[in-house]
Amino acid sequence: MHNLFVIFDMDGVIFDTERAILDCWIEASRAYPVSESLVRETFIKCIGTNNAQTTDIYNSTFSGILSSDDRESLWNESYGMFRSKYEGKCLPVKPGANEILEFLRARGIRTGLATSTRKDIATRELQDADLLQYFESITGGDSVRISKPDPEIYLLACKKMDVKPSDTMAIEDSYNGIRSAHAAGMRPIMVPDMVPADEEMMRLSESVCPDLFAVIDYIRGFIQ
């Protein structure tokens, strides 16, 4: 019997959320005196962080460029645009997400979720995509004091599932997520989304896979 468990990040791994939100940031920012390159660079820094940290990064970057009112307006317009496009609709699902979840369930491998998104939002988004059934446990960013790259969220997710971090793969797309999983003593598997793996990610990850289909193949090698 294999002794393997899997905990997924959500945005950028299960859902193509990050690209969709970045598109909204860029579209909304065209009405303001900020460059697309700065918007993109700022957004990438926010990947893998919770809402509070994203807000801090956003404000510290644009405080010298935009007034407080304009910063608030741009923020609200960006996320308002995202909600109008996707609220009540299924978020774009990453290729291979359905397949890997079905693969793991068919082989009796328990799975959980550790996301910087609030638990209630993550639960609703998974439900809308008919994916909630695959996850034994969901740990949201609102459950921890410090977001990724701190290991707290992954340690809590493992504790909730009563599994050892060393027996658990963490499927991540972001640098902060890989750092978090590695610091928790897990087996980090990186599936790069918006930013490629650098030398640090290669060193911290057990494997870097181009997509979730490649992760299926990688896991298959451990359980056959």
Of the candidates 109, 97, 104, 80, the one whose C-alpha atom is nearest the C-alpha of residue 21 is 80
Of the candidates 106, 185, 148, 146, the one whose C-alpha atom is nearest the C-alpha of residue 13 is 148
pLDDT more than 90, % of the chain: 80
Q: Are residues 63 and 160 in the same domain?
A: no
CATH of residue 170's domain is: 3.40.50.1000
Q: Are residues 37 and 144 in the same domain?
A: no
Q: How confident is the model at residue 2 (pLDDT cuts 50, 70, 90)?
A: low
Cα distance between residue 67 and residue 59, in whole Å? 10
Considering only residues 51 and 175, tell me which one the structure prediction assigns the higher pLDDT.
175
Q: Which two tokens stand for residue 92?
A: 């774009």
Of the candidates 67, 124, 92, the one whose C-alpha atom is nearest the C-alpha of residue 13 is 92
Cα distance between residue 181 and residue 150, in whole Å? 9
Residue 210, preceding bond cis, omega within 30 degrees?
A: no
In tens, the pLDDT along 121-136 reads 999 999 999 999 999 9
Whether 66 contacts 74, CB under 8 Å: yes
Q: Are residues 98 and 202 in the same domain?
A: yes
Is residue 53 over pLDDT 90?
Answer: no
pLDDT mean over 22-30 = 95
Of the candidates 20, 48, 14, the one whose C-alpha atom is nearest the C-alpha of residue 132 is 14
Domain final residue, candidates 64, 86, 108: 86
In tens, the pLDDT along 162-182 reads 999 999 999 999 999 999 999
Phi and psi of 144, rounded to 5°? -125, 160
Whether 113 contacts 137, CB under 8 Å: yes
Q: Are residues 98 and 155 in the same domain?
A: yes
Q: Are residues 55 and 112 in the same domain?
A: no
Is residue 47 over pLDDT 90?
Answer: no
Domain final residue, candidates 65, 86, 107: 86
Q: Are residues 105 and 200 in the same domain?
A: yes
- Whole-number average pLDDT of the chain: 94
Is residue 221 over pLDDT 80?
Answer: yes
Q: Are residues 141 and 200 in the same domain?
A: yes
Domain count, the chain: 2
Considering only residues 83 and 161, tell me which one the structure prediction assigns the higher pLDDT.
161
Domain final residue, candidates 86, 107, 133: 86
Q: Are residues 207 and 100 in the same domain?
A: yes
Q: Are residues 58 and 163 in the same domain?
A: no
Q: Which two tokens stand for residue 28?
A: 């909304």
Q: Are residues 95 and 69 in the same domain?
A: no
The DSSP call for residue 146 is S
Q: Are residues 103 and 9 in the same domain?
A: yes
Q: Are residues 21 and 96 in the same domain?
A: no
Q: Which domain holds residue 188?
A: 5-16+91-223
pLDDT at 1: 45
